[in-house]
Every structure is written in structure tokens, then in C-alpha cells.
Structure 1
Amino acid sequence: MELRQLRQFVVLAETLNFHRAAERLHMAQPPLSTAMRKLEEELGIVLFDRDPRGLKLTVAGGIAL
């Protein structure tokens, strides 16, 4: 886990939108998505509920925030 990943997590949790979060972080969306999946794998928990209707924090994601 890197500080960069934690910053990305916080911005994504605030916006709940990969595109807007990537814009705020001055990066492309695919690397942000990859970074969040890697963070979830490292922690062994799902932080975001990825639903066709939108992105939501899971209970674990809310606690981590």
C-alpha cells in the first residue's frame, strides 16, 4: 500500500465517480481503476460497490475513509 493509493481512494470516495476522480488526480481513469483494485486486493476487502447505477462505498470502504 502506498500513500498515493490512499490519496486516490479518498478522492474516489469523495466523488464516487472514476472519471471525475481521475480528473481531480490529473490521471487517466484506467490506471485509477487498476490502483483501486490493487488496493482492495492488498487489504483483502472490497471498498467500492461497482454497480451499473453508480459507484458506492461498501461498509468497509466507509470505515476505511
Structure 2
Amino acid sequence: MSELEVRELRYFIAVAEELNFSRAAQRLGMAQPPLSKAIAQTESRLGVRLLERTTRQVRLTDAGQVLLDQARIAVDAVHAAARRARR
């Protein structure tokens, strides 16, 4: 498994919090198709389904909930490291 990038984690967090690809894309300032593709690539790289998608809803899988919890911690740590480096 290759390592995930902060960008990928931010994309996943937005989708996981919004539970809607269109709203997440808007929040991130990007189009929905590239966001959907990025999430699918992340799932493929991890070898696990993070989201259950139907035509009516998006729901986190158990693995998705774990990644959401850990991704928030990781992204916060990266931002904190950057702030400390600037000081």
C-alpha cells in the first residue's frame, strides 16, 4: 500500500463529513467528477471500500469511519507542524 497524501485525506474528510459528493466538491472548490475519481483511487490504493454509495445516499463503511477519525488527526498534525515551523 502506498502512503496517502494530505490532499487525498482532505478530499476524503470533506466527502465523509458532507456525505454528498457535490457538496464536498463545492466545499473544496473543485468539480465533482475529479473528486469522485480521487476517492475511488484512494479506495483502490487502500484495497478497502470507504463509502457505500447508492443513488440516494453516501454512507461511511466501518473502514471509512476509521480513516475519517485518523485522517482528521493526521491533517491536524500536518497543519500544527507547519505552524510550528513558521514560528
| TM-score (structure 2 length as normaliser) | 0.72
Larger radius of gyration: 2
Give the length in aligned residue pairs.
Answer: 65
Could you say which residue in structure 2 is the equivalent of 1:30? 33
Tell whether 2:64 aligns with 1:43.
Answer: no
How many angstroms does 1:51 deviate by? 1.1
The letter for the 2-side match of 1:53 is R
Match of 1:63 in 2: 66
What TM-score comes out, normalization by structure 1 length? 0.95
**Deviation (angstroms), 1:53:** 2.1
For structure 2, which runs of at least 5 residues remain unmatched after alignment?
A: 69-87
Misfit runs of 4+, over 2 Å? none
**Aligned-residue RMSD, C-alpha:** 0.7
Gaps of 5+ in 1: none
1:19 aligns with 2:22: yes
Larger strand fraction of residues: 1
Judging by fraction of residues, say which structure has more helix: 2
